[in-house]
Amino acid sequence: MNKASLTEGITIDILSKTKREQKASVINTPNDVMIGKQVIVIGGGSYRSWSKWPEAASYGIKVILVDIEDNHPSRDIVCCYICYDFSHHTMDHAHACKIVQLIQDQGIVADGCLTFYDECTPLTALICDQLGLKGMSYKAAMIANSKTETHHILGLYVDKYQTKAFLQNLIISLKKKTASCCHKALSFLQY
């Protein structure tokens, strides 16, 4: 190996290491866009999710936690804690109005609203709508929470989202069922 190729190898290795370090720093550092943002979180969760809140604070995110438990262990960890019983999801419209009022009464201007719980998704969508925040619509949240509705909606787009293999298997399955039904009908008619 001559001097030029040895030098090139070292240069390439140094550049590779620098790029790896840059990638690692991008992955391990928070995006400056989130620093100082106030995010409403609906539902504090169990003891397994408590580690989220100090981590969010370390990224500069101010968490406004809304939960049904008055003495939730996360109440002292987050920036702001609001206790409100939103457990009856048949009343999500009323709950959203009350939660928005409680937030505004404290002078909080939220930058976002989210939840980690499926059953709170429609409530979160309503809060986003009332506060003018980006998020899914209430209708989309209700469809996502209903297996039947989701299945129906996805069924409307079979051609667009199903794989060719799935459709081929579906056709084969339908042919077998049709043949079986025809055989049963012919058997019935022969007697």
Q: What digits encode the pLDDT tens for the residues 93-150? A: 999 999 999 999 999 999 999 998 889 999 999 999 999 999 889 998 888 888 788 7
Does this model's pTM top 0.85? My answer is no
Ranked by mean pLDDT, the top range of 31-45, 118-132, 162-176 is: 118-132
* Mean local confidence (pLDDT), 20-44: 70
Largest CA distance in the chain: 94
Q: How confident is the model at residue 40 (pLDDT cuts 50, 70, 90)?
A: very high
